[in-house]
Chains A and B, each alone.
Chain A
Amino acid sequence: MKFIHIFLIAAIISNFNFLKADEIKTENKIAKNLRCLICQGQSVYDSDSEFATSLKLVIRNKIQEGLNEEQIYSFLKTKYGEWILYDPVFNRNTYFLWLLPILIFLAGGAIILKKFYIRK
């Protein structure tokens, strides 16, 4: 009987730890992808400012409420604007930013093709 008790308690504790570890992982991941708006060049994860500590708490609460990563990003986007996200969203303002590397890559490829293959 005692053995079963200990086994059950151990099982419950290990399960809880597993759940928590997963939550902390996503919490940290989200915090690393957010810009600390009142610091210079720091993510929310890196910062210990009052703003960042509160924001981390909000992220934790939202995860516990059952929101997924995307939902939390869009929630924060409505509150603080796109600037809080490190990853710029693909829209009218950022077409150039996203497409320029691809264009340059294609142009470079075209030059190489012309130089080495077409001449022969």
Chain B
Amino acid sequence: MSRDKTMTAEEAVGRLESGMTLGIGGWGSRRKPMALVRALLRSDLTDLTVVSYGGPDVGLLAAAGKIRKLVAAFATLDSIPLEPHFGAARQRAAFEMVELDEAMFMWGLTAAAHRLPFMPIRAGLASDVMTVNPRLRTVRSPYEDGEELVAVPALRLDAALVHLNRADVHGNGQYLGPDPYFDDLFCQAADQAYLSCERIVDTAELLKAQGPQSLLVKRAFVNGVVETPNGAHFTSCAPDYDRDETFQRAYTQAARDPEAWRAFTEQFLSGDEAAYQAAVAAFHEEEA
């Protein structure tokens, strides 16, 4: 029997170091490993390079001043197009930015997962992505076509953080929603990966929910498994729950004003994960 890799969010974050390059799974405000991000917020870790199809993970880490460099094609809350903390941080040049196209980002992760130095891609040519990333190079096809393409460098990660619907204690991760996003790629591109999930189940239980193609992440690429019910909150985690739009609106409103943000932080982010979930429940009781 393979190892039991269960741990707490604190233990997972305890394996990380300041200055690391962290990949964060999900997409926008969808299935983000928010409980792990909240554990990061409570830690002393700083000076991070964050690689993400950005959502509130980027916003919260930026607001806490933990990002030294961001690699992203966007940061959005989906139903609210502009991530407020990301926008504010960019407007005060709070971190270095590597702005890539969405597909360049995918091929950068793929190159890292395949242990290749780069992947060729047409995207990026002629756009200002080339201008704002002067280190990007092109590569010429060695075949008759002689095409000149962008060589997207591998986005190798020190660690990846992802959130799935189910997992077993060994790190086999299962998604039950309509989109895997890129969570398996993040894990394969990383030296270590921490997988949080809504519920840990017996390995034999996994296929009772869905077919084998739902088994997205393989245990060989996972170093720690964390059970965090509602752990993607306030992002969506279909089919377990939808995005908490009411809460997301409150987050966005608070993010626009320093005083309101201090109050929001005090109310929701000053305690541990259990305190967060209790504060969210209380918030909804007041709203109702």
Answer whether A and B are interacting partners: no
Query: CB within 8 Å of A: which residues of B?
Result: none
